[in-house]
Amino acid sequence: MVQATAQKSPEEPDVNVIISGLIERGRAAMEAYENHDQARIDDAVTALAWSIYKPERARELAELAVEDTGLGNVPSKVTKNTRKIFGTLRDLSRVKSTGIIEQLPEKGLVKYGKPVGVVAAVCPSTNPAATPVNKAMMALKGGNAVIIGPSPAGLATTARTVEHMRSELKKSGHPEDLVQVLPAPVSKALTQALMEACDLVVVTGSQNNVKRAYSSGTVAIGVGAGNVPVIIDSTADLDDAAAKICASKIFDNSTSCSSENSLVILDDIYEAAIAALERAGGYRSTGAEKTKIVDTLWVDGHLNRHVIAKDADIFADVAGLADEAKSSKFFIVEDDGIGPDHPLSDEKLSLVLTVYRAKDFAEAKDKVRQILEFKGIGHSLGIHTANSDHARELAEELDVVRVIVNQAHTFANGGSFDNGLNFTLSMGCGTWAGNSISENLNYRNFINITHLVTTIPEDKPSEEELFGGYWAKFGK
């Protein structure tokens, strides 16, 4: 039973009635969905992928997203609507998710995949098309139905995206109600009621939504805040690092949680690295311009929605930067402070890249730790280096789920064709960030597993085998 979450006036729709109807249609669709048949499931998943990957739709939804939200840029969103979905389809096409998904005869175990139920997929305004499709593909791979909870700012784009997904499902002979979307007007009360009524909540976006999901009483998966710091050490190929940082930073005007927000550069290559970043398209701001950038980006302690995720020339014009800045690709702002009194150490959702100087690798590592502890703990960090020991040291010592080595962070962090991470638009950040997963969101998060257990030859070691080493060291 859905519990009312807010008082309503007589003319307002009853959120409980709306949500109950959506849930009932989702359950009916699951009953009709051939979710015991892996081939039919894979047809449905492919239908969802094609609904956005189809070239004219990828562009239509990219254009609508920019118009709808005012965030990012069309070419990047076209890439996001195709590359991410293509990669996700690759991953999902290679795995079993229903019936027998794994057999371990040596352990006497057979594992069966089964649906979790009706999934609520709460999605952000930064990715109002790609994220709903990405989550829907994973949900349907598990044999589930999904109800999309869009950001109000991205509602028009998400609603159109869901129309396309439903159309492709119908074409391939699947129930359209496997994918539904909250109706307008989307409100906190409506989204909250959905989270309380479904079987699993998966939230990408604001940390407020993540917290509400975890307190909804429903099993929830939320993701943490990004604020990616990246080290350039003394052994890095500076032009290669700068080119990758630029490509990553400017992608979709830095709307991604995996976009570089800070660089920490070692002292002995600092000026050479800055020069490489300038060659790649960066503009090194002056001290006076730094003040203008801060005053433009933050209003009353909050990011200024009128300038975040905007093209470089627009931001430079609003901030009053030099004409040279207007033709650059991103803005280099040098700083030495970290924490609440230093906003440039926070996530910026803009083409502003904060740069710190470190005397050696130990200090660089400490600065990265401070940045993450201020904002972004658990999410990810990067390093450009030829010293694999440095990369391993970061992985061993810092509390993040992903350490990205010599890669364009935005493209690598959510899965890539040249690394082993699965494709996703939702990055779990572990208990460090209050998340229930410490991996990229994937199909396994959308299935329950039944274990068939049979006997095997007894596997019981002797007391000596288990305690002998301890006894030898410390006595009985």
- Cα–Cα distance measured from residue 367 to residue 338, given in angstroms and rounded to the nearest whole number: 8
> What is the reported pLDDT for 12?
61
What is the chain's pLDDT, residue by residue, as a tens digit (476 residues)? 344 444 445 556 799 999 999 999 999 999 999 889 999 999 999 999 999 999 999 999 999 999 999 999 999 999 999 999 999 999 999 999 999 999 999 999 999 999 999 999 999 999 999 999 999 999 999 999 999 999 999 999 999 999 999 999 999 999 999 999 999 999 999 999 999 999 999 999 888 999 999 999 999 999 999 999 999 999 999 999 999 999 999 999 999 999 999 999 999 999 999 999 999 999 999 999 999 999 999 999 999 999 999 999 999 999 999 999 999 999 999 999 999 999 999 999 999 999 999 999 999 999 999 999 999 999 999 999 999 999 999 999 999 999 999 999 999 999 999 999 999 999 999 999 999 999 999 999 999 999 999 999 999 999 999 999 999 999 99
Q: In degrees, to the nearest 5, what angle opens at C-alpha 445 toward C-alphas 185 and 221? A: 50
Instruction: Please report whether residue 171 resides in a domain.
Output: yes
Residue located via tokens 């004409």? 323
| Shared-domain flag, residues 317 and 169 | no
What angle do helix axes 155-171 and 38-53 make, rounded to 10 degrees? Answer: 140
Q: Is 174 found in the same domain as 217?
A: yes
Dist CA 198 CA 24 (whole Å): 10
Q: Say if CB 230 and CB 382 are below 8 A apart.
A: yes
Q: What's the domain range around 279?
A: 228-420
Say what the pTM is: 0.94
218 and 307 in a single domain? The answer is no
Beta-strand pair 220-222/228-232: unpaired
Residues 265 and 134 in one domain: no
Residue 278: inside a domain: yes
Cis amide linkage into residue 185, ω under 30° from 0? yes
Do 395 and 282 share a structural domain? yes
Same-domain status, 41 and 151:
yes
Domain assignment present for 6: no
**460 within some domain:** no
For residues 75 and 137, membership in a common domain is answered with: yes
pLDDT for position 95: 98
Name the residue type at position 147.
Answer: I
Is residue 464 in some structural domain? no
| 381 and 279 both lie in a single domain | yes
**CATH number (domain holding residue 349):** 3.40.309.10
- Number of separate domains in the chain: 2
User: Helix, strand, or coil here: 333?
Assistant: strand
What distance in Å separates the CA atoms of residue 241 and residue 385, rounded to the nearest whole number?
9
pLDDT at 345: 98
Q: Do 28 and 142 belong to one domain? A: yes
Q: What pLDDT score does 6 carry?
A: 44
Please report the pLDDT score of residue 205 as a whole number: 87
Residues 219, 232, single domain; the answer is no
Each residue of 46-62: pLDDT tens digit? 999 999 999 999 999 99
* Two tokens, residue 34: 């051939």
Q: Which helix (H) or strand (E) holds 8?
A: none
Tell whether 108 is covered by a domain: yes
Q: Are 232 and 384 in contact (CB under 8 A)?
A: yes
Q: Based on the domain organization, do 128 and 199 belong to the same domain?
A: yes
CATH number at residue 154: 3.40.605.10
Tens of pLDDT, residue by residue over 439-451, are 999 999 999 999 9
State the catalytic residues: 257
pLDDT tens-digit series, residues 86-134: 999 999 999 999 999 999 999 999 999 999 999 999 999 999 999 999 9
180 touches 22 (CB < 8 A): yes
Strands 400-405 and 378-384: parallel
Distance separating the N- and C-terminal Cα atoms of the chain: 57
> Residues 208, 271: one domain?
no
